[in-house]
Amino acid sequence: MNSSTEKAELLADLAEEYEHTGREFAGSECAEVRVLEQSSGVAMEALAAGWDEKRVGMPEPQVWTPSSSLWLTLLTSKATAADRTVTVGEPVSLATSPLVVAMPRPMAQALGWPDEQVGWKDVLSLSKKGWGAFGHPEWGAFHLGKDNPRTSTSGLASTVAAFYAATGRSGDLTEADVRDPKAREFVAGVESGVLHYASDATVYMSNLAEADAAGTALSYASAAPVQEQLLHLYNQGSPTGDPERIGKGRKPTVPLVAVHPADGTLMMDHPFIVLSSATDRQKAAAADFQDFLLEKSQQRRFQQLGFRDHTGTAGAELAASVGLRPAEKLTLIGPPAPAVLTATGSTPSWYSRTAGTNTRPTTTSTPCCATSTRRTWSAPSASSPSPSASRPTSPSCRRSPRPPKRMPTTPATRPSSTR
């Protein structure tokens, strides 16, 4: 199972718990699940090109759960163009998390939050005028932290949302809209505040945590479009997204708040997608694991990690952590058609200057988009007798030995702190 980075650790824990339940499917079968993590955009490109284990550095998955169905839209478009089928069945959402503009609380309050609505047009104004126009010249220029939209979900989604804001639409965005000079000027203006395009949102969160510890949080970054869930982790002392650090790490002196753009945002739906590489037995096993993940107790685990459940309901932890208001309603925009989504990313000059550049050094020389593997799993082919396959149950279903909780770093991986 290939998972986006922000939920891979939770899914690995739930997979282990699933195996210990003694669940059976198809009469007398049991399954063993292994979870690997990879940025959604990188996984999409690997699937679209035809999975090459040597090139990708990990085995081909039978289930893929990116952060958003936006990536599935792009994958389907690429696969159709190549006359290939890569998915089977309809995807099901495991959890949700809206795209928000994360801002240090004092900065959000300077814009009128939480009483006043703030949107992408305010981001554009700040990018042009700086904080002096809002009564805080000591904060200097407006700096936007953003991920590379070619690899990161929050980067892709924020670019899409900016195009919607530029046109005033809430749905049915067209290719003509995206190519309209005024719309592109608007989005380019928003992008002009970006200091670096990082490969993963946790890079910015980690850097901001370091700046906060040094007392310079307000001069590091003014805002960052990220999933709401990452704000919760940051405010609870886990800026890298490691669930084991929640409540144990240093909490920021200047917490972040979630600004839900008034002119529209997207909901990340974290789909569970069965791939065409799965055998019939693996499809049955995937269906049972999916059912397990949607049960109330597992959905509660997603909420505790800062996600909303698959119906969009936030837990008390998230509401208290990021400043959600009971009466607040999200202005959601519909995902664009495949050709339109592709067109939003066809702006190389915006991203080429620092695309994929991390703002802090990593400890390896791997490219920006390399993967970090916590637990490895090579799901078997139809001819492979590997114990990873679903198998007839017995009084005690035998499992292969568990790998360590965290795998050692190899040349093909990056440390979890720079996921």
Residues 105 and 234 in one domain: yes
pLDDT for 417 equals 34
Residues 51 and 178 in one domain: no
- Does 364 fall in a domain? no
Q: In whole angstroms, what is the distance from residue 370 CA to residue 298 CA?
A: 29
Concatenated DSSP letters of 43-72 = HHHHHHH---HHHHTSPPPSEEE-S-HHHH
- Does 357 fall in a domain? no
CA dihedral 257, 258, 259, 262 (to 10 degrees): -150
For position 69, which CATH number holds? 3.40.190.10
* Amino acid in the structure at residue 417: S
Q: In whole angstroms, what is the distance from residue 308 CA to residue 269 CA?
A: 10
Residues 116 and 250 in one domain: yes
Residues 286 and 173 in one domain: no
Measure CA 264 to chain center.
Answer: 18
Q: In whole angstroms, what is the distance from residue 6 CA to residue 229 CA?
A: 9
Residues 142 and 281 in one domain: no
Domain hosting 135: range is 97-267+324-351
Tally of domains within the chain: 2
Ramachandran sector of residue 181 (left: φ over 0; alpha: ψ -120 to 50; beta: rest) = alpha
Q: Could you tell me the maximum CA-CA distance found in the chain, to the nearest angstrom?
A: 71
pLDDT for 149 equals 84
Burial class (CB in 10 A: 0-12, 13-18, 19+), 361: exposed
Q: Distances from the Cα of 38 to the Cαs of 85, 244, 329, 371, 409, in angstroms? A: 21, 19, 32, 5, 14
- Does 356 fall in a domain? no
Residues 88 and 157 in one domain: no
Please list, in sequence order, all residues whose beta carbon lies within 8 angstroms of the beta carbon of residue 396, skipping any fewer than 6 positions away.
none
Note down pLDDT in tens along the chain; length 419 residues.
999 988 999 999 999 999 999 898 888 889 999 999 998 999 999 999 999 999 999 999 999 999 999 999 999 999 998 898 899 889 999 999 999 999 999 999 999 999 888 988 888 888 889 999 999 999 999 988 888 888 888 888 988 999 998 998 888 899 999 999 999 999 888 888 887 787 777 777 888 999 999 999 998 889 999 999 999 999 999 988 787 888 899 999 999 999 999 888 999 999 999 999 999 999 999 999 999 999 999 999 999 999 999 999 999 999 999 988 877 788 898 889 988 998 887 654 454 444 333 333 332 222 222 233 333 333 333 333 333 333 333 334 545 545 444 333 333 333 333 33
